[in-house]
Homo-oligomer: A and B are copies of this chain.
């Protein structure tokens, strides 16, 4: 089974939330409350997005996270690359390289190639979805409610 890492979700959610807020700023505690997780987890994910320049941070009182990119430009593929690249591949591998069997000793490699290609197809889709699009979808979902 595949299982998309939830850090990807946290990263997207955080960026969307920052884009949504008028001042484009929030603390890890505020974001964590919205995401429904622990502030330390938010800080961990956002510290990756800081390294890539997607958010800026300010420590100390009155500090927090600020969106440092254009939500109309940044794609989910970018976010995925930061948080979860390679995660499509299962940790469990079938076969055994030491075996003296064509299949058993090469299956891990071959499946690895297939997973990589599958992931790259997924990325071409994620490259079409921008942070601003996600916000738009959220608004549409909200408007559609009774």
Contact = CB atoms under 8 A, between A and B. Distances in A.
Total copies of the chain: 2
Contacts of A118: 4, 122, 125-126
Per DSSP, chain A at the interface is helix
B95 A13 contact: yes
Given A1-B4, A2-B5, A103-B17, A141 B10 contact: no
A125 B121 contact: yes
Contact of A110 (B2, B7, B115, B134): B134
Given A13-B94, A137-B110, A104 B6 contact: no
Given A1-B5, A2-B3, A13-B111, 5 more contacts: A1-B4, A3-B4, A106-B137, A106-B141, A122-B122
